[in-house]
């Protein structure tokens, strides 16, 4: 064998493991796109909030370093669906999202209520009772199958904005009547963005209109999403079975994820 041929073979043998090492390293780092959803996900909270903490720790157990990236919700969806991020969280199930994403198993259960001004006498039993009211909403948000259907069919009037605090301000100025929103997220936004006097002016109806599960979404535009989703679900199941999942929420209830100073 000639010296030149030996040199070429040796070079190839050196490059092959380096190539596979680089591929392995690339697979160990992913980016997750999220929107602000305090107190569950927030750039200002420890570990970016309890749900962000669960997501990153699940991936860490899989040997994957997952970094959290905050974007406006509409851009979060668009950029993730285009494959700029390996995953996005968290989202309510909506059928039309299935064309863009693969859903994980549920990572969060939420309670949605109608916020309203305390002076606004509000009661309801069904969606029919809401038809004469003006609702506030968030861009790109789903409100559950029944509610979304009523919106699509024009049975309900909803003014959508980018940020939830805008809806609370519109409640105060009587520009909308009610604002459907997750109860803990709503209370966190009120404390963050409204004065104590303004907070006192807003309340919510005790009857939940939706108890909802939310999910991590994996873009169909990326080839490895099915495998990543399966691994995530398997590890999340282990977290639930061994009690770790519950421990995150015990810490959450004790305020251990509260805003860092």
- Could you tell me the domains of the chain? 3-110+212-253 (3.40.190.10), 111-211 (3.40.190.10)
Q: What is the pLDDT of residues 197-236, one digit of tens each?
A: 999 999 999 999 999 899 999 999 999 999 999 999 999 9
pLDDT of residue 25: 41
- Three-state SS for 72? coil
Rounded CA gap, 85 and 30, in Å?
7
Largest Cα–Cα separation, the chain: 92
Q: What is the pLDDT of residues 113-162, one digit of tens each?
A: 999 999 999 999 999 999 999 999 998 788 888 889 999 999 999 999 99
91 pLDDT higher than 90: yes
Chain mean pLDDT for the chain: 89
Integer CA distances (angstroms), 41 to 57, 106, 188, 201, 237, in order: 14, 15, 11, 26, 21
pLDDT of residue 144: 84
| Residue appearing with tokens 């991590």 | 216
pLDDT of residue 27: 52
Rounded CA gap, 92 and 159, in Å?
20
Q: What is the pLDDT of residues 40-67, one digit of tens each?
A: 999 999 999 999 999 999 999 999 999 9
| Residue appearing with tokens 């810490």 | 251
Grade residue 255 by pLDDT with cuts at 50, 70 and 90. Answer: confident
Rounded CA gap, 156 and 129, in Å?
10
CA-closest candidate to residue 112, choices 78, 152, 146: 146
The DSSP secondary-structure symbol of 95 reads G
Rounded CA gap, 145 and 190, in Å?
27
Q: Tell me what percent of the residues of the chain surpass a pLDDT of 70.
A: 89
99 pLDDT higher than 90: yes
pLDDT of residue 261: 53
CB–CB of 63/29 below 8 Å?
Answer: no
9 pLDDT higher than 80: no
24 pLDDT higher than 70: no
Token reading at 92: 């309510």
């Amino acid at each position: 064998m000639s010296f030149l041929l030996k040199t070429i073979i040796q070079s190839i043998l050196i490059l092959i493991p380096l190539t596979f090492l680089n591929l392995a390293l690339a697979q160990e780092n992913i980016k997750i796109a999220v929107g602000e959803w305090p107190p569950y996900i927030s750039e200002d909270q420890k570990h970016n909030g309890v749900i962000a903490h669960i997501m990153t720790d699940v991936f860490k157990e899989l040997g994957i370093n997952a970094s959290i990236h905050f974007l406006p919700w509409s851009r979060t969806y668009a950029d993730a669906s285009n494959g700029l991020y390996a995953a996005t969280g968290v989202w309510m199930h909506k059928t039309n999202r299935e064309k863009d994403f693969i859903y994980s198993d549920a990572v969060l259960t939420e309670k949605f209520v109608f916020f309203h001004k305390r002076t606004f006498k509000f009661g309801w039993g069904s969606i029919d009772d809401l038809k004469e009211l003006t609702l506030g909403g968030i861009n790109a948000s789903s409100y559950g199958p029944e509610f979304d259907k009523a919106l699509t069919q024009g049975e309900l009037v909803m003014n959508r904005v980018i940020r939830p605090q805008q809806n609370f301000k519109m409640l105060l100025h009587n520009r909308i009547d009610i604002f459907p929103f997750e109860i803990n997220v709503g209370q966190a936004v009120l404390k963050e963005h409204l004065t104590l006097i303004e907070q006192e002016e807003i309340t919510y109806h005790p009857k939940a209109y939706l108890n909802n599960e939310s999910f991590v979404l994996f873009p169909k535009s990326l080839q490895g999403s099915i495998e990543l989703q399966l691994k995530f679900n398997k590890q999340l199941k282990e977290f639930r079975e061994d009690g770790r999942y519950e421990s995150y929420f015990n810490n959450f209830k004790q305020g251990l994820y509260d805003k860092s100073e």
